[in-house]
Amino acid sequence: MVSGGAFEGSHDGPFGQGYGEGISAGADAEDWIVSRDKHRYDEIFFTLMPVNGKITGVNAKKEMMNSRLPNTVLGKIWKLADCDHDGMLDDEEFALAQHLIKIKLEGYELPAELPHHLVPPAHRKNPTADKKSSKTSGFRSPRFTDSASFSIKQKNPHI
Ligand SMILES: [Ca+2]
């Protein structure tokens, strides 16, 4: 008989939720963690008859229900995965949905909002894009100031 064991004494045991697992997996990775398994999700995606690169909510729902998760959970996953809220899933959104299903099936909790590291690359907002376009509005005619400083030099008594 084994009494106690290696797990005794540790408050959460070896199965406690640690950093880098569940929803926070991939938070410190440069690449989109979902892309690591995306080729497998893509295979399912293309069996769901995508139109213009997207599958309908109906087809996505059928596949998602195979997970046997309750509808309330799948509804939550849908909201997180449909990043652009168009009622359809593109291949990245679908892969994300499958990733979230996997996380839930592994026993981890889902977040209320999608953490930035899980947002599909195509749906990430690029904050530098707006800054670049506003640069031109600060452009003022440099000729006026140039000629003004030029005329001052002309009046310089040293010349
Ligand atoms: Ca969508």
Mean pLDDT of 135-149: 50
- pLDDT tens digit sequence for 104-138: 999 999 999 999 999 999 999 876 554 444 444 44
Domains delineated in the chain: 22-123 (1.10.238.10)
Distance 157 CA to ligand 1 centre (A): 71
pLDDT at 93 over 60: yes
Mean pLDDT of 12-20: 56
Distance 87 CA to ligand 1 centre (A): 6
Is the pTM of the predicted complex or chain greater than 0.85? no
Q: Where would I find the beta strands (DSSP E) of the chain?
A: 54-56, 88-90
Distance 79 CA to ligand 1 centre (A): 9
- Pairwise CA distance, residues 65 & 69, whole Å: 7
* % pLDDT > 90, the chain: 62
Residues with CB under 5 A from ligand 1 (ion): 82, 84, 86, 93
